[in-house]
Amino acid sequence: MSEQLKTGTTTIGIVNADGVVLATEHRATMGNIIAHKEVQKVFRIDNNIGLTTAGLVGDAQILARYMKAEVELYNLKRQTPMPVKSAATMLSNILRRGGGAQGYFYVGLIVGGWDRNGGQVYSIDAAGGCIGDHYTSIGSGSLFAYGVLEDHYKKDLSLDDAINLGIRALNAAMKRDSASGDGMEIVTITKDGYVVVSQEEILKRASRMGITVPKP
């Protein structure tokens, strides 16, 4: 039942000098109830592309499966990875056609990745709008995350600093948004591929910045 209901969240995408960082927390809510504490909100679509999800859990999960299948078909036909912008455009077209639990997909998505044009992130809304930017945040905690991103983002940000910025921005959202919490998940996507930052590394970095990361 909870997978059919609206959920709050915080998702973040950050372009940096080496690629992109995608960051999310783990909480799913059902009104005032914390429905789940270990929800996956960032998905590996390919070795060069990731997807973060906010909104209805069921809609988000099926879109992640659609996108992964389409990217795999592209790879098989062309023997080359799909460009990040092409993946974002394809997903926006899927949303524009409608579907989902309510006749449309009640989601907010971030597509991020690396290709020959470097790191890129695109925010995609439920109507299929697709906008590229240097950084973006979607979800109920995005207003708080944006405050940190606006203050600290630089175009020449290193991968290391972008990971730290993702932790800071998630922390700000988790402190003020009741629908965001229960730990962090961070991935990097560079020319070396899709890498999940270990929980040990996240906790170590957070500790150095004086941040306590709550666990589910």
Q: Report the pLDDT value the prediction gives residue 56, as an integer from 0 to 100.
A: 86
On whether the CB atoms of residues 84 and 112 are closer than 8 A, the answer is yes
Within a domain: residue 131?
Answer: yes
Distance CA 124, CA 95 (A): 9
* pTM higher than 0.85: yes
In tens, the pLDDT along 148-190 reads 999 999 988 999 999 999 999 999 998 887 767 778 999 999 9
Q: Which of 5, 13, 7, 25 is nearest to 173 (CA)?
A: 25
Q: What percentage of the chain's residues is helix, strand, coil (to nearest 5)?
A: 35, 30, 35
What is the extent of the structural domain holding 152?
Answer: 2-208
Beta bridge mates, 154: none
Within a domain: residue 156?
Answer: yes
Within a domain: residue 213?
Answer: no
Q: Report the pLDDT value the prediction gives residue 4, as an integer from 0 to 100.
A: 46
Q: Report the pLDDT value the prediction gives residue 215, as an integer from 0 to 100.
A: 66
Within a domain: residue 127?
Answer: yes
> Which pair of tokens denotes residue 204?
């170590």
The CATH number of the domain where 148 resides is what? Answer: 3.60.20.10
Q: 159-176 and 199-208 helices cross at what angle (nearest 10)?
A: 80
Q: Which of 77, 166, 139 is nearest to 69 (CA)?
A: 77
On whether the CB atoms of residues 152 and 165 are closer than 8 A, the answer is yes
Looking at the annotation, which residues are catalytic? Answer: 9
Cα end-to-end distance, the chain, whole Å:
21
> Which pair of tokens denotes residue 53?
């999800």
37 to 21, 83, 121, 172: CA distances (angstroms):
22, 33, 26, 18
Distance CA 13, CA 16 (A): 10
Number of domains within the chain: 1
62 Cα distance to chain centroid? 15
Q: Report the pLDDT value the prediction gives residue 212, as an integer from 0 to 100.
A: 82
- Residues (pLDDT < 50) of the chain are 1-5
Cβ-based burial of 208 (10 A; exposed 0-12, middle 13-18, buried ≥19): exposed
Q: Which of 74, 23, 18 is nearest to 46 (CA)?
A: 74
Within a domain: residue 24?
Answer: yes
Beta bridge mates, 66: none
Q: Report the pLDDT value the prediction gives residue 24, as an integer from 0 to 100.
A: 95
Q: 84-97 and 57-78 helices cross at what angle (nearest 10)?
A: 130
Within a domain: residue 109?
Answer: yes
Distance CA 59, CA 43 (A): 14
Within a domain: residue 216?
Answer: no
Within a domain: residue 143?
Answer: yes
